[in-house]
Amino acid sequence: MIITLLTDFGLSDPYAGVMKGVILGICPEARLVDISHDITPQNIEMAAFILEKSVPYFPTDTIHCVVVDPGVGTSRKVLIARVKGHLFVAPDNGVLKRIINTAQAHEVFHADRAEFFLKKISATFHGRDIFAPLAAHLANGVKPEQIGEPLDQYVRGEIREPELQKGRITGEIIYFDRFGNAVTNISRTMLKGLGNIRIDIRHHTIQGLVSAYSQVKPGEPLAIIGSFENLEIAVREGSAREQIPLKYGDKITVLF
């Protein structure tokens, strides 16, 4: 059984490794896949986006364990969701919104049966003590219905969509990759058939889209549809995040 891990723990601390140890102690046959441990701390929006873009590449029956949890130690619930043949273990904070809100059919459970947690629960490390054990028990064949009751009231969250007006689309930056490329919430579909476009971001204007970084000179900003199928702002052989510079939530306007 495949279990994916998506956290904001980073790799300099032992947290991600300890979670893996807990999972393997309960389900030695688990196949663990790191989606990322470099989510910006407490950045639920970023985690929701990365999860949405990653899940389609995993086979059905995969278990996805998501621990981006600013509310750790509070009364927020722990969720198990069943969506399109996948299982998700996550805090009730909206991190599953792009998975749940876009699915026609889904089931959500309140995972509150302590026999499926570790015996001692830390107030600051539910990833180790709650989420990892739940993922492992699911991999061992325990059903969500055995771990908690169905839940109708949970944090659904809002997906911020671009605004379409006459002659323009206004979106925002929702993710930076390690190269400093700025991924926006404007999809390829929204740009289809628009012809010549102009892109304004901060104090910079970019004319049209390129299909490869090599179509501009080194150090020059560009706009491209990236592997997430969203509009990205990049700098050839550089970092758009640093050079322009850009930050999360910066508005981007496409004029056509």
pLDDT digit string (tens) for the chain, length 256 residues: 999 999 999 999 999 999 999 999 999 999 999 999 999 999 999 999 999 999 999 999 999 999 999 999 999 999 999 999 999 999 999 999 999 988 888 999 999 999 999 999 999 999 999 999 999 999 999 999 999 999 999 999 999 899 999 999 999 999 999 999 999 999 999 999 898 899 999 989 999 999 999 999 999 999 999 999 999 999 999 999 999 999 999 999 999 9
Establish if 242 belongs to a structural domain: yes
Instruction: Specify if 158 maps to a domain.
Output: no
Query: Do the strands 78-83 and 251-255 form a parallel or antiparallel pair, or are they unpaired?
Result: unpaired
CA distance 137 to 30: 10
In a domain, 86, yes or no: yes
Domain boundary (150, 172, 191) is at 150
Residue 69 falls inside a structural domain: yes
Q: How buried is residue 190: exposed, middle or buried, by Cβ count under 10 Å (0-12/13-18/19+)? A: middle
Question: Are 18 and 129 within one domain?
Answer: yes
Same domain membership, residue 146 and residue 114: yes
Same domain, 23 and 107: yes
How many domains does one find in the chain?
A: 2
Tell me, yes or no, whether 23 lies in a domain.
yes
Dist. CA 170–CA 145, nearest whole Å: 42
Domain presence at residue 144? yes
Range of the domain at 53: 2-150
What pLDDT is attached to residue 195?
83
User: What is the three-class DSSP state of 30?
Assistant: coil
- Burial of residue 38 (CB within 10 Å: 0-12, 13-18, 19+) is middle
Q: Give pLDDT, residue 4.
A: 98
249 shares a domain with 220: yes
Say what the pLDDT of residue 105 is.
83
Q: Looking at the structure, do residues 18 and 112 belong to the same domain, yes or no?
A: yes
| Residue 179, pLDDT score | 97
Question: Residues 8, 126: one domain?
Answer: yes
> What residue spans of 11-156 are helical by DSSP H?
15-26, 44-54, 97-100, 126, 132-139, 144-147
Per DSSP (E only), the strands in 84-179 are 86-91, 106-111, 148-150, 163-165, 168-176
Q: Same structural domain for residues 170 and 142?
A: no
Is 26 in the same domain as 119?
yes
Tell whether 73 and 198 lie within a shared domain: no
- CATH code for the domain in which residue 121 is found: 3.40.50.10790
Looking up residue 216, the CATH number of its domain turns out to be: 2.40.30.90
Q: Is residue 157 part of a domain?
A: no
Is residue 155 in some structural domain? Answer: no
Which of 111, 127, 150 marks a domain boundary? 150
Asked which of 125, 150, 175 is the last residue of a domain, the reply is: 150
49 with 173, same domain: the answer is no
85 and 189, same domain (yes or no): no
Q: Quick one: pLDDT at residue 187?
A: 96
**What's the DSSP call for residue 237?**
T
Q: How far apart are CA 185 and CA 175, in angstroms?
A: 9
Residue 148's nearest CA partner among 173, 168, 130 is 130
Q: What is the dihedral of CA 150, 154, 158, 159, to 10 degrees?
A: -30
Give residue 90's Cα distance to chain centre.
12
* In a shared domain, residues 139 and 222: no
